[in-house]
Amino acid sequence: MLIDVKYLADKKENFNFSDNFVFLRDNYMIPVSAEVTGIVYRQGTDYIVDGKVKTVLNLNCDLCLSAFETKLDFDLNEVFSETPDSDEEIWELSDKTIDLKPAVIANIILNMPMQVLCSDDCKGLCPKCGHNLNDGDCGCDRGYVNPQFEKLLNLFNDD
């Protein structure tokens, strides 16, 4: 996802990229298929990128651990400069080439939900046997209480 801006003067240039890549989040790899479209133009000494990103993420549910695909679409608005002046909002430009991949990955992470669920009504895993409760009930007695905490259950009972 490289854009050469050597000859970009006062005009706007369209770009369109499709790429498959993998990035690391929370200690596991996330495969991504991304399509990035937009325009790049010069504003003073900076280069502005305005575009749209359409992604398909291959994720695992946080509750039941099932693999699933989800779509994530968002706007991409970034500033690139050869002298970013330590501003965290501005990406560094090297050799008059914009590398969009780090900016796209950062925006994917920012736009991902904090808790990744395969569906809104995901039931998760049985705490006793590990069966995926979305596939049906496992029959385990989930009323088990650790004997160390059994007296706490009776603490407020008025027998």
* Helix, strand, coil share (%) of the chain residues, nearest 5: 15, 45, 40
**Residue 159, pLDDT above cutoff 60:** no
Q: What is the pLDDT of residue 53?
A: 94
Rounded to two decimals, the pTM is 0.74
Residues 6+ apart with CB under 8 A from 110: none
pLDDT tens sequence across 33-73 = 889 999 999 888 888 999 999 998 888 899 999 988 889 99
Residue 101 per-residue DSSP state: H
| Whole-number percent of the chain with pLDDT over 70 | 91
In this predicted structure, which of 9-18, 92-101, 145-154 has the lowest mean pLDDT? 145-154
pLDDT interval class at 28 (50, 70, 90): low
